[in-house]
Amino acid sequence: MIILALGTNIDPKEEYLQKALIQMEKSEIKILKKSSIYETHAWGGVADGKFLNMCVEVKCNFSAYELLDAIQKIELDLGRVRKEHWGNRTIDIDIIEYNNQKFNDERLIIPHKYLHERNFVLRPIYELFGDVIIDNKSIKTSLDKITDEIKVYKVKG
């Protein structure tokens, strides 16, 4: 199972999410499942405004590092500028889970190190897979510990 998390807080938010999904498919990253889109407050205390977030399950023939390269290219193509950690962004795509493999180096940390602290990742994963275990922890148990507000965002049209 490969899970990617997408987030944006720069308008047009829905458009950035949709363009990222289209670019994934064009980059030979097949989308198997898509969560609802969730609206959340910024996490980390740096970014402005509210975010739209979602998770997708994907399939690809890339190694984890090749997948990282591919999604970082998509971010760049969609105008992502990395000025400050956790700052405003047109699109952010994180690898949350990669086939139960673990990575921990200067380029890649999988499972994502803040997974069990972020409702905007836990809720979409729970929607897609139910109470799965990632990094030896229950998604539902971690989600139940978080009190931050999150709601399903209704995309127009």
Q: Is 144 a catalytic residue?
A: no
Catalytic residue among 48, 94, 107, 123: 94
Q: Is 94 a catalytic residue?
A: yes
Q: Cα–Cα distance between 47 and 51 in angstroms, integer?
A: 9
Q: Is 80 a catalytic residue?
A: yes
Q: Is 107 a catalytic residue?
A: no
Catalytic residue among 11, 69, 80, 118: 80
Which residue has 């190694």 as its token pair?
A: 63
Burial of 107 (0-12, 13-18, 19+ CB in 10 A): exposed
Catalytic residue among 11, 77, 82, 92: 92
| Tokens matching residue 76 | 């760049």
Catalytic residue among 89, 118, 131, 135: 89
Q: Cα–Cα distance between 66 and 107 in angstroms, integer?
A: 11
Residues marked active site are found at: 80, 89, 92, 94
